[in-house]
Amino acid sequence: MLGKNPLGCEAREGAAAGRAVESKMLRGRRMFLDRGWTPPTPYAGIWDRAGVLKVSAENGRMTDAAFYGKLADLHSHTRLCGHAEGEPRDLARRAKDLGLGVLGISEHCPMPSGFDRLRLAEERLPDYLAMVEDARRAFPTLPIRLGIEAEYCRGEAESVRRFLEKADWDHVIGSVHYLGKWNFDDPKEIPAWKALSDLRATWQAYFDLWKEAARTRLYDTLGHPDLVKKFGFVPEGSCEAMFEDALRAVAEAGCCIEINTAGLRKPVKEIYPSAAFLKIARRMEIPITFGSDAHAPSEVGANFREAVALARACGYTESARFEKRKRTMWPLPEKE
C-alpha cells in the first residue's frame, strides 16, 4: 500500500488509482497539490496549476476535465421541442460533469403552419427563457448561452427574422431541414430518398438554400453543414465544386460553420461536415463552432474528441463561441 496522498484518498496501485484520483477531480474537488509532494508512480500524470489532472498517467490521454474545459458545445435541445429529453438544467448537469467550458442551448425555432410541429411552440418561448435562467441559477459557474436553432426556408426568412426579435440570443444557428416543404432529414422520408433519380440535383438544391441562408446574415453559425448526407445517399464523384460555391457565400457573409457530431449517431455514421468540406472551409478561413446536437442530456459533448481531431486534421487551431451575438475565438485543446 502507498498510504494517504494529499487528495485525501487512500492510495491504490495501478490503473484503479489513476481512475480514483481522476474521478475525484471530476467531482469538482479541485485542490492545489502540495508543491513538496512527489506523486508516486500511479499518480504521475500532468497536472495544471489548479490541480486538475490534464494528462492521465493511466492511458497518456488528456483527461475529460482538461479537454472539455477548452470547448463550447453550442447546440443542444430540450423536451420543449417535443422530440428531445430533458430540460436545460439536466443538460447543464451533464456539461458540468464533463467539465465543458460553455454550454449553449439551441431549441428548434417555431415554424409557420405547413411545417413540422416538433419544435418550440411560439407561446412556450417564455418557458424556454425561464428554463435557461433556472439552469444558470442551478449551475452558476457554468457559462450557459441562450441559443436558438433557426430554420432557413425559402420564403420564410421574414417569419424567422420576426421570431428572432423576441429574445436576446447569445447565438443563432442557421439550419436547413426542408427542401421546399420536404422535410428531407425525417427518417420517414427514407423511401422518398430511395426513389430519387438525381441525387446530385437534390444535394445542389440543398446547398443553394444553404447559400441563401448565409446571405440573409440572420445566423452566427450554420448548423450540420452537409445534413443532406444523413441517410447515406451521397452522389457519385466529387462534390468539391458544389462545396466551394456554397462556402464562398458563407465566407462573404462572415458566418461560421458548425462541426456537428450528431452525424455519427445517424445512418451515415460521419460527422457533419466531411473532411473534404471542412478543408475548403479552412482554406477560406471560415471559423468553426462545435455542436453535439444533443437531444438527451447524455449526448452533451458527445464525440468531441473525434470532432476536435477532424478540425485539427483540416488545419483548424481555434473555434468560436458567442455572447449576445459577439464572437470570440478560443484555442482548441492541446494536441494529444
Question: Residues in the site for Fe ion, rule: CB under 5 A?
Answer: 149, 175, 293
- 93 vs 25: CA distance, rounded Å: 16
Residue 124 beta carbon to Fe ion: minimum distance, rounded to whole angstroms? 17
Q: Which is nearer to Zn ion, 19 or 124 (CB)?
A: 124
- The interface with Zn ion within residues 285-304 (CB under 5 A) comprises 293
Q: Which is nearer to Zn ion, 43 or 128 (CB)?
A: 128
Residue 124 beta carbon to Zn ion: minimum distance, rounded to whole angstroms? 15
- Indicate which of Zn ion, Fe ion, none lies near residue 220 (CB less than 5 to 8 Å, by partner kind): none
Residue 90 beta carbon to Fe ion: minimum distance, rounded to whole angstroms? 16
- Indicate which of Fe ion, Zn ion, none lies near residue 289 (CB less than 5 to 8 Å, by partner kind): none
- Indicate which of Zn ion, Fe ion, none lies near residue 226 (CB less than 5 to 8 Å, by partner kind): none
Residue 260 beta carbon to Zn ion: minimum distance, rounded to whole angstroms? 7
Residue 106 beta carbon to Fe ion: minimum distance, rounded to whole angstroms? 6
Tell me the number of residues near Zn ion by CB under 5 A: 1
Q: Which is nearer to Zn ion, 18 or 147 (CB)?
A: 147
- The interface with Zn ion within residues 147-166 (CB under 5 A) comprises none
Residue 295 beta carbon to Zn ion: minimum distance, rounded to whole angstroms? 6
- Indicate which of Zn ion, Fe ion, none lies near residue 90 (CB less than 5 to 8 Å, by partner kind): none
- Indicate which of Zn ion, Fe ion, none lies near residue 107 (CB less than 5 to 8 Å, by partner kind): none
Contacts to Zn ion by CB under 5 A: 293
